[in-house]
Amino acid sequence: MLSLETEIAELSERVSRSVVRVECRGGGGSGVIWRADGLIITNAHVMQRPKATVKLWDGRQNKAQLCGYDAARDLAALRIDADELPAAQAGDERDLRVGQLVFALGNPHGSESSLTAGVVHAVGPLSGRRAQPWVQADITLHPGNSGGPLFDTWGTVIGINSMIVYGLALAVPASAVAEFVAPAQRRPMLGINCEPVTIVQRSVAHLDLISREGLLVVAVAGNSAAARCGLLIGDIVTGVASEDGIFKAPTQLERLLSNVNLGSRMTLEIVRAGKRECRDVVFDYPPGQHSEAA
């Protein structure tokens, strides 16, 4: 009969084969092989650029392309050119019980396949955070753990580790990941990373300064709706032509995009090199791309 320490060590070794290191200019973290055909799931905040390098458990390195992004859920999907990979065994966080033993694997501080253990604190929304449910665990996470798996004693992944809040580790539930990657649930994405900024400009008479809010585009995913309409890094998205108000936070844009369907059109108002422009966005998948994270 194996000792508890040996069983945990073997469990960690088995799950670590489906955990990858994600290296992205301006950031990085961990990721989970979600499907054997090269679909990787990580956090949206890990992906500061539309491209990354993924390092597999056996040392192989692959170029990865962002193919799905949901900032509201803090999820991103990457595609690498590989197959027959050791995909994670996805579970359902709704079967968890408070006090149940769980583990986190990731690459904190440059270490590979670092394991921490703790117990489930709660499953559900957390006060002061977005209304979405979280798997909350009394477990240690460090920079580099983001995007890695939270899994149970069976090796079943029940969440994607995201952040520490109020001393608790928060993981995006596995059910939310399943919705994110399911073909029937996937929404067309705009394909940008953005940050709130304040624009300061001279008035027409050049007598005083005028300031307004906007969202600075810091990354544009290749062959995305944003790329196809000509959005560039450095553009500032200020609003939508058919809507009142201006964008002061990425969540405002996310709420508008949550109702977007295939074939929908939207006219974005932007500021480029100090001049106002409009860009017509068509929310459709590029030729050859299906409505799934692929």
Q: Known catalytic residues?
A: 45, 74, 146
Helices (H), 98-257: 174-181, 225-228, 250-257
CA distance 256 to 146: 27
| Residue 113: Cβ within 10 Å count | 17
Q: Which among 152, 192, 164 has a CA at the least distance from the CA of 70?
A: 192
Backbone angles phi, psi at 44, to 5 degrees: -60, -40
CA distance 91 to 15: 13
Strands (DSSP E) contained in 110-221 are 114-124, 134-138, 149-151, 156-165, 168-173, 192-202, 209-220
